[in-house]
Amino acid sequence: GDSVTQMEGPVTLSEEAFLTINCTYTATGYPSLFWYVQYPGEGLQLLLKATKADDKGSNKGFEATYRKETTSFHLEKGSVQVSDSAVYFCAPGARAGNNRKLIWGLGTSLAVNP
Amino acid sequence: GAVVSQHPSWVICKSGTSVKIECRSLDFQATTMFWYRQFPKQSLMLMATSNEGSKATYEQGVEKDKFLINHASLTLSTLTVTSAHPEDSSFYICSAQFAIDEQFFGPGTRLTVL
């Protein structure tokens, strides 16, 4: 069945460090790919997305590129801030009628120290 | 982004009782809402897709008579856990579909069954 493998956390970085969170997936068809973020005490928020091969999603300094050949969607940020401390979820979304059914990774907890 | 609320944010109940959780889209209409369940340190599991005015579509392994879903309006979906037992204790999250590639999530409801 469809699945997603995310880099295990927790990840602890110093401010301004480079961040990579790996994500690979298996999915039937041609899914859209999403990264969601959950800040402490808040609900899940869409961070970025990519809908076709080689698309790069970006938001708030984060980027991820849809790599069809490696079925990956790694999240990167060149210089993290304390405010980036959160849990990050990779979620491929397969088309199901008029909806997207999201498949969720375990989430990667990121802590950024000043 | 759009706002989705859930009520209650947490609930404690006795075994055998039923609990209703509400999910509301506050500033947009949502034909489709999703209900997820999350166990500690695990990923989100899609339980069912709720469509306004029609029966919910349950994922394999989810008991529809146990988890009753009603999507009576374009801004409200409810999940009722019937005859709850301790194994139903979990974090329940809803999302409302704004567009095919955009879901907005509620903050979640923590259910504890004694």
* Average pLDDT over all residues of chain B: 92
Q: A97-108: per-residue pLDDT in tens?
A: 777 889 888 899
Tell if the CB–CB gap between A46 and B45 is shorter than 8 Å: no
Comparing alpha-carbon positions, the chain B residue that sits nearest to A90 is B43
Listed by number, the residues of chain A in 36-95 with a beta carbon closer than 8 Å to a beta carbon of chain B are: 36, 42-46, 49, 51, 89, 93, 95
Confidence check: pLDDT of B1 > 70: no
> How far apart (Å, rounded) are the C-alpha atoms in residues B32 and B29?
9
Comparing alpha-carbon positions, the chain A residue that sits nearest to B4 is A43
Q: How confident is the model at residue A37 (pLDDT cuts 50, 70, 90)?
A: very high
Would you say A92 and A67 are in contact if contact means Cβ atoms under 8 Å apart?
A: no
Would you say A33 and A95 are in contact if contact means Cβ atoms under 8 Å apart?
A: no
Confidence check: pLDDT of A40 > 90: no
Confidence check: pLDDT of A92 > 80: yes
Pick A43's closest partner by Cβ from B41, B46, B107: B107
pLDDT for position A42: 84
Q: HSE of B82 in the Cβ direction (CA atoms, 13 Å)?
A: 8
